[in-house]
Chains A and B, each alone.
Chain A
């Protein structure tokens, strides 16, 4: 399950375009994987690592 899938599981109300505006997921092709490069959503707080780890 990707980082995007986990975030969508936590916040299913997010829209695809949110990931080009208030949220940016990024992968620098350095072997470190996907990460949240920006989270500026006006109402939804940035998910914690515990929340992300809890998504199956």
Chain B
């Protein structure tokens, strides 16, 4: 996908190369937007749990698995901006956290609130990440420590979502 240096005196068609200060992209890279809809996702207390994002708003390169593994596996090497949010609820929550996982391991931590919450709450997490375009994958996780009630991820397309796109070639 990356393009070699082009002399600035030359005619340029397609993308401006990285070496010329461009993105190096010759075509739009993968972009996706997915949400949790239908039923709320019940989770265990104090357990980092993958969000089952089951509805695709768009998935330009079919890189998001919204039926089995709920993960984004981009097929173009480069740098991706990822954004996630999860609506959480339990009768009383004392800690809530959002995470992006890379290849099955915690990679970036977002919202981390440690106080008593008695209402619907939201955690968010965003990161610019590198993906090798073949095996690297990314998932959205969240964590609730509830002192009472049963913790859930709320099914709501406006507040439980994960999206991202390629912003620069490798």
Contacts and interface: CB of A to CB of B under 8 A. Distances in A.
Interface of A: 2-5, 16-17, 19-20, 24-30, 34, 37
Contacts of A17: 95, 114
B47 A27 contact: yes
Nearest to B41: A29
Interface stretch (B48-56, B73-81, B117-125): B48-56
A28 B49 CA distance: 6
Interface residues of B, number: 23
Contacts, number: 51
A30 to B, nearest CB: 8
A30 B49 CA distance: 10
Contact of A2 (B45, B48, B50, B97): B45
B130 interface: no
Contact of B44 (A2, A20, A24): A2
B47 A2 contact: yes
Nearest to B69: A30
Interface string B89-128: 0000011010000001010000010100000000000000
Contacts of B163: none
B49 A20 contact: no
Interface of B: 41, 43-52, 69-70, 94-95, 97, 104, 106, 112, 114, 141, 143, 145
Given A20-B95, A20-B97, A4 B48 contact: no
Nearest to B51: A29
A5 B45 CA distance: 8
A4 B50 contact: no
B70 A37 contact: no
B46 A19 contact: yes
Given A2-B47, A3-B47, A29 B95 contact: no
Given A16-B145, A17-B95, A20-B95, A25 B48 contact: yes
6 contacts: A4-B46, A16-B94, A16-B95, A26-B47, A26-B49, A27-B49
Given A16-B145, A17-B114, A20-B143, A27 B43 contact: yes
A29 B44 CA distance: 11
